[in-house]
Amino acid sequence: MLSEAKNKLLTQVGPGTPMGDYLRRYWFPIAATAEFDDKNVKPIRLLGEDLTLYKDLSGTYGLVDRHCPHRRADLSYGYVEKTGLRCNYHGWLMNETGACIEQPFEDTVNPNNRLKERCSTKAYPVRALRGLLWAYMGPQPAPELPVYEAFTWENGFVEVVTADIPCNWFQCQENSIDPVHFEWMHDNWSIRQKGQTGPYSPTHLKVAFDEFEHGFTYRRVRSDSDETSAMWTVGRVFLWPLGFYLGEHFEWRVPVDDENTLSIGWFYARVPSDRGSYVQGDVPHWKAPIRQEDGRWISSHVINQDIIAWVGQGTIADRTKENLGASDRGIAMIRNRFFDELEKVAAGAEPKGLVRDAEAAKLVELPIAERRAFLAGKPLIDYYDHPYYKKRLQDFPWHAGQPPHIRAAFCEAMGVDFNGQPLAREPAE
């Protein structure tokens, strides 16, 4: 149970709030690069700020204030040129640094005019990495953008999935350190949704939580495993401060404002080793639906089930009314770490897990089971006995709504048909 004041510390993310200023010190994903395949400008709200994300004609990405510094027109209706984003109202041109580099009429009537020097706008750096666009909204100097090991893997099919979640970011992120919910929300609830009353999934017998440089891990023993299993020896990663990592995929819970969250998922599937070398082109993106036609939440897929838990706690969870138990030790650990971090940064110290060394940032390893399998791969026949890839071949289990053309691209890469069965091969000559 938390006091109302401490709950506000965790959940308020606008400019000038302790948590908002803290999260701004990290790079975090804000969109998929594929979102700019058919458009150049996107309105976006991040950490309570209304912004415009764009890609100019030279391929440079920019993230600037939503409103033009001239007459406050909406720059999300502007148009891109080679060196920036031009306001559609009077033609003022802003570049990715926020500098106003052209003021057409003013430049004509007064070529020596210095108004441009006083008309810069808010801007944040953006970088593209492995199908994602990343932003840094904090003080300079910015830390390095970490290249997580999974981003360097080859021979894989990658897709980016986003969803708009109508609740505060912190109740989404707390899910990343909650192992027991898998047993009930995913395994057992899925059994009941199929019209079955059992048998239920293996029960949790033991959980443990450990901190490391880039976050926390949770480990578990269930009634079908022991302390030699990867669930206990490696576990899963709460990626500090707003991510989750499970080998084949990442999830980030990016605060839009105090009442909304942008969910971003990055999913990797190793192409079977007997398919030979595989080089993917552009990383596809799709937006996942979260509601049924009748307005009820979609409950058929893993992350959709999580979403039901998140939004079910209210727009901002009232933690003054909760009752934590033994399974919630990880929840208490990360809350306390955030409180400690907020105090530490307020005193001028460095936040947890930032990467300042450029060489170290080129390859950041995280705890992972089956690292060799991701690197070396397995033949397709072995996928049908693998707990993750068996599901991946049959469907996309994490989010509902995968578009048919992305499913088709996945199947082609994996060498299977839409039912997950191996495609017939041409006989070798």
303-323 mean pLDDT: 98
| pLDDT tens-digit readout, 314-356 | 999 999 999 999 999 999 999 999 999 999 999 999 999 999 9
3-state secondary structure at position 161? strand
Task: Give the DSSP letter of residue 18.
Answer: H
285 and 377, same domain (yes or no): yes
Say which residue, 237 or 114, is predicted with more confidence: 237
Binned at pLDDT 50, 70 and 90, residue 246 comes out as very high
Q: Determine the pLDDT at residue 428.
A: 42
Q: Checking phi first, is residue 204 left (phi over 0); if not, alpha (psi -120 to 50) or beta?
A: beta
Residues 98 and 166 in one domain: no
110-124, 161-175, 263-277, 297-311, range with the lowest pLDDT: 110-124
Nearest to residue 76, comparing CAs of 62, 84, 90, 87?
A: 87
Residue 329 inside a domain? The answer is yes
- Residue 52: enclosing H or E segment and its boundaries? strand 49-55
Q: Are 267 and 163 in contact (CB under 8 A)?
A: no
Q: Residue 42 — φ and ψ, nearest 5°?
A: -140, 125
422 vs 117: which has the higher pLDDT: 422
Q: What angle do CA 365, 367, 372 make, to 5 degrees?
A: 80
Q: Can you tell me the distance from the alpha carbon of 244 to that of 182, in angstroms, rounded to the nearest whole number?
A: 14
Give the relative orientation of helices 329-346 and 4-11 as an angle to the nearest 10 degrees.
Answer: 80
| Contact residues for 336 (Cβ-Cβ < 8 A; gap 6+) | none
**Mean pLDDT, residues 367-371:** 89
Is the domain of 282 the same as that of 224? yes
Place of tokens 């199929």: 194
Q: Is the pLDDT of residue 427 over 60?
A: no
pLDDT level of residue 426 (50, 70, 90 thresholds): low
Q: For the chain, what is the domain count?
A: 2
Point out the domain boundary residue: 136, 161, 187.
136
Q: How confident is the model at residue 12 (pLDDT cuts 50, 70, 90)?
A: very high
Question: What is the average per-residue pLDDT within 283-311?
Answer: 97
Q: For all residues of the chain together, what is the average pLDDT?
A: 95
CATH number, domain of 86, equals 2.102.10.10
pLDDT over 90 (residue 375): no
Q: Enter the tokens of residue 173.
A: 């992120």
Asked whether residue 361 falls in the same domain as residue 399, the answer is yes
How far, in Å, CA of 50 to CA of 66, rounded?
5
Helix (H, G, I), strand (E, B) or coil at 338: helix
pLDDT of residue 374 exceeding 90: no
Largest CA distance in the chain: 80
Are both 132 and 153 inside the same structural domain? no
Contact 71, 89 (CB under 8 A): yes
Q: How many whole angstroms separate alpha carbon 26 and alpha carbon 172?
A: 18
Q: Is residue 349 part of a domain?
A: yes
Confidence label for 118 from pLDDT (cuts 50, 70 and 90): confident
Q: Is residue 373 part of a domain?
A: yes
Same domain, 173 and 87: no
C-alpha span between 179 and 328 (Å, rounded): 9
Final residue belonging to a domain, choices 104, 136, 168: 136
Confidence of residue 69 (pLDDT cuts 50, 70, 90): very high
Query: What does the pLDDT look like over 93-105, one tens digit per residue?
Result: 999 999 999 999 8
156 and 102, same domain (yes or no): no
* Domain range for 210: 149-414
CATH number at residue 358: 3.90.380
Q: Does some domain include residue 357?
A: yes
Return the pLDDT at 116. 77
Percent of the chain predicted with pLDDT > 70 = 99
Domain-located, residue 219: yes
- Of 52-56, 70-74, 229-233, the one with minimum mean pLDDT is 229-233
Residues 193-205 have pLDDT tens digits of 999 998 999 999 9
The whole-angstrom separation of Cα 221 and Cα 205 is 6
Give the global pTM. 0.95
The residues pairing with 94 across neighbouring beta strands, listed in sequence order, are 85, 100
* Beta strands, E only, 166-224: 204-212, 215-222
Mean pLDDT of 109-137: 92
What is the Cα–Cα distance from 158 to 422, expressed in whole angstroms? 20
Same domain, residue pair 53 and 111 = yes
The mean pLDDT value for 259-263 works out to 98
Sign, CA torsion 324/329/331/334: positive
Q: State whether 343 and 408 are in the same domain.
A: yes
Does 162 share its domain with 302?
yes
The least confident of 218-222, 370-374, 400-404 is 370-374
Average of per-residue pLDDT across 357-361? 98
| 12 domain-assigned | no
What are residue 52's phi and psi, to 5 degrees?
Answer: -125, 125
Domain-located, residue 196: yes
